[in-house]
Structure formats: structure tokens, C-alpha cells
Amino acid sequence: MSNVILIGFMGCGKSSVGRRLSYRVRKTWIDTDKLIEHQQKRSIKDIFAMEGENYFRDLETQCLRILKKDRERHVISVGGGLPMREQNQALLQKLGLVVYLRVKPETIMERLKHDKKRPLLQGDNPKEKIQKLMQERGPVYEKVADVIIDTDGKELRQIVKEVQEAYCENISH
């Protein structure tokens, strides 16, 4: 049996889907951002401010390495930027079924236009930042994913159901 890993842009619903799915498939839910904050005893925002982005990206890679050694299987949601590192892409694929929760830029902009927690969206013109990052990241998410689920206009319940179906189909093969 494999892990199920949720990837996608900030605000696409990885955490909400991960938490709900974990109840339904009776596995623990792990979120790499939460794991890092717990280990570091400080927020992502503080880690970025005090150590810089590269340091945070190293922590993300370390997280994947730890999860790879874990014999338990989990539902794992990962930070939006994690799949961008090439070495993380290989680690993700070894870890289990990678599900990309795809969402349109307009939806993300609406959800995150007032965000104060995500370091990469602070400062002037968050909309432009979202647009640029989504353009860079979309093709990478698509490349890494085993399954792509379009989530715009769908209720959380429906998205969770679709991920669960993909997961069950995968483990029965």
C-alpha cells in the first residue's frame, strides 16, 4: 500500500482535502509545512525571514527523506513550492501516488489576495506574483502527478471522493 501525496498551488485545498481524506482512508494526515513548523518550533514566515527560502527548501527535502523511511503509510500534503526541486520530484514519485489538485488562477487570486501568512505573496501586487508562479509551476505539477483533479467549482466532499477513488483504483492494481 502506498502513500497518497497531494500537490498543487498555495490555496488549492491540499490541507482540507488531506485532512478529510485521511479520515476516509483511515491513515494519518501529514502536512510538510506543519511538520517543518513543529520541528523548527517557529512559523514558515519566520523561517523565511530569518533563514531565507533556500534553507526552507532544504527542510522540505529532508522531510521527504524522513517520510520515505517511514514504514507507516499516510496521506501527505506538501507545500506548493516543494515539487519544484528536481530531487524532490524523484522523492515524491517514490513516496506514492501523487495527486495534483489543479485550480484556475482566478480562483487562487480570489482566495489569497489578502493572505498574510505566505512569504512568497507578500509585498506589492500579489496577483502578479500568483500569476507568474502559477505559470512556472503548472507544467511541473502536471509532470510530477500521477493523477490530476480539476477542483474549480467543486465542493470539498466531491474533491475528496475523487481523490479517494483514484487512490483505491491505484492500490487495487
Binding region for ligand S3P (CB under 6 A) = 10, 14, 33, 44, 79-81, 118-120
Q: Minimum CB separation from ligand S3P for residue 84, in Å?
A: 8
Q: Whole-number minimum distance, CB 154 to ligand S3P, in Å? A: 19
The nearer residue to ligand S3P, 129 or 154, going by C-beta atoms, is: 129
For the bound state, the minimum distance from the C-beta of residue 140 to ligand S3P, rounded and expressed in Å, comes to 12
Which one, 79 or 96, has the nearer CB to ligand S3P? Answer: 79
Q: How far is the CB of 25 from ligand S3P (least distance, A)?
A: 20
* Residue number, 34 or 170, with CB nearest to ligand S3P: 34
- Contact (CB, 8 A) for 24 and 160: yes
- All 3 cell numbers of residue 18? 488531506
Nearest to 4 by CA among 36, 35, 37, 26: 26
Smallest separation, CB 171 to ligand S3P (Å): 25
Residue 157's φ and ψ, nearest 5 degrees, are: -55, -40
Q: Which is nearer to ligand S3P, 33 or 162 (CB)?
A: 33
Closer CB to ligand S3P, 50 or 168, in the complex: 50
